[in-house]
Amino acid sequence: MAEDPQRNFRSAYYEKVGFRGVEEKKSLEIVLKDNPLDVEKLSTFSQRFPLPSMYRIHVWKVLLGILPPHSDSHTLVSRCRLQQFQDISSALTAMRFTHTHTPQTELYLRMFQLENQKLPRRSEPRPADDEDENFLAISRAMEEIVDDPVDCYWLVRCFVNQFKIKFGDSIPHLPKSLEHFLSQEDACLLAHLKSSGSLHSLPYRLWFRRCFAGCLPESSLQRVWDKVISGSCKILVFVAVEILLSYKILLMGISHPDGVYNFLSNLPQDNTDAIVTKAIDLWHKHCGTPMHAV
């Protein structure tokens, strides 16, 4: 994969001395002073730059529609969100679906099911289906990013709903997109995955249905979710491509699909920030600076 040494040196230097982060923070602060907030500007900013951690949750809440664009109504809306959380939680307790020791992620799932009229009967317990497991995985990851349980629930709820509505039709096509971009980056690795039967056994559900929840640590995951929440699910493809490229030597030595799947489902956690950074560069390389690329 060809790289621009001058660009890489310049980016590394700016980040090292703090210029880049300072300028991005100032730019975002200007956008956040608008009333009403320009959601399109926020989305574009999030796709072009990494969100400063001190503003990330606030921006996510606006982009997901948890808070309205008019910032003078944020306090009132936040109180309403809290009241709704308490009402639903109390209803579940009254129906004996939850109790004081129920794990928060299970509470979020039951609340989500109740709001969507999918709460199972207590007399007919059923194991969690794929959608439930995906919701729980995203909830566990969000818990590592967000401290407040009310914010956590609303972020998970709206993230899952937005992802399904915006990208539900695109998700089945992402494995084919991965194959296409991997063919451009490393045809040899793609040929090996095909010949070993591993290409169709990659952990697509973990990558594309759960948006890497349970795969990447939160420090890396939240940078990926910045892009998904701001309007692109294709970033998931480039993270997957970069994972394959980063572990090419190891993968080339595995000839059985189960071995490839097991390794990729339990990635080492010490190199993920670099992988995500390269994936975002790869995303921009192939897509320019997409605003709402799917």
Q: In this predicted structure, what is the pLDDT of residue 134?
A: 97
CA-closest candidate to residue 204, choices 174, 226, 244: 174
What would the two tokens of residue 86 be? Answer: 């308490």
CA-closest candidate to residue 241, choices 187, 196, 197, 205: 187
3-state DSSP helix/strand/coil % of the chain, to nearest 5: 70, 0, 30
What would the two tokens of residue 11 be? Answer: 């980016």
Q: Which residues of the chain have pLDDT under 50?
A: 1-19, 291-294
Q: In this predicted structure, what is the pLDDT of residue 27?
A: 84
Beta bridge mates, 193 = none
**Residue ranges of domains in the chain, CATH in brackets:** 169-294 (1.10.472.80)
Q: CB neighbours (10 Å) of residue 160?
A: 19
- Rounded Cα distance between 69 and 62, Å, is 7
* 175-187 pLDDT tens trace: 999 999 999 999 9
- Rounded Cα distance between 32 and 212, Å, is 29
What would the two tokens of residue 112 be? Answer: 């989500």
In degrees rounded to 5, what are phi and psi of residue 125? -65, 145
What would the two tokens of residue 293 be? Answer: 């690329």
Which 3 state secondary structure label does DSSP give 288?
Answer: coil
CA distances from 285 to 73, 156, 182, 184 (A): 39, 30, 13, 12
Q: In this predicted structure, what is the pLDDT of residue 22?
A: 66
Are the C-beta atoms of 278 and 238 separated by less than 8 Å?
no
- Rounded Cα distance between 185 and 209, Å, is 24
Residue at token pair 């003078």: 72
Are the C-beta atoms of 180 and 171 separated by less than 8 Å?
no
Q: In this predicted structure, what is the pLDDT of residue 25?
A: 82
- Rounded Cα distance between 181 and 153, Å, is 35
According to DSSP, residue 71 is labeled: G
Q: In this predicted structure, what is the pLDDT of residue 123?
A: 67
Mean pLDDT over the full length of the chain: 90
